[in-house]
Amino acid sequence: MESLKKNDDFRKCYNTGKSYVNRDLVLYVCGNDMGKNRIGISVSKKVGNSVVRHRITRLIRESYRLHEQMFNSGLDMVVVARSRAKGADYHRIEGALLHLAGKAGIYGKKNNDMAD
């Protein structure tokens, strides 16, 4: 998993990408020419103190990591946590991320071997 780190990359995603919103998260998606996905996570001080912000960041990162192979390739994604995500558990964050990815049309079954 690669991260977006530069402010310019975040701005490009905010300005040229498409946004999708639900109760807990906002997802911005734009293409890149790298053939791989990069993800950036933004959690404002409005959400909570540093412990709360880092916990939400870890939950989002882990949710993406576990489902990374199911996402389309060549995308820059910025996930912004909303203040309602403050008390969310892992399953709620995971569900919110996958819901937004589904709305964006960037999440789908890639590998038939994963069927039970």
Distance of CA 72 to the CA centre of its chain: 13
pTM given for the model: 0.87
Domains in the chain with CATH codes? 2-104 (3.30.230.10)
Mean pLDDT over 24-43 rounds to: 92
- Does the pLDDT at position 109 exceed 70? no
107: Cβ–Cβ under 8 A, 6 or more apart, which residues? Answer: 67, 70, 71, 72, 98, 101
Q: pLDDT tens digit string along 38-93?
A: 999 999 999 999 999 999 999 999 999 999 898 888 899 999 999 999 989 999 99
Q: pLDDT tens digit string along 1-16?
A: 788 889 998 999 999 9
* Torsional sign, CA 58, 35, 6, 83: negative
Output the pLDDT for position 116: 38
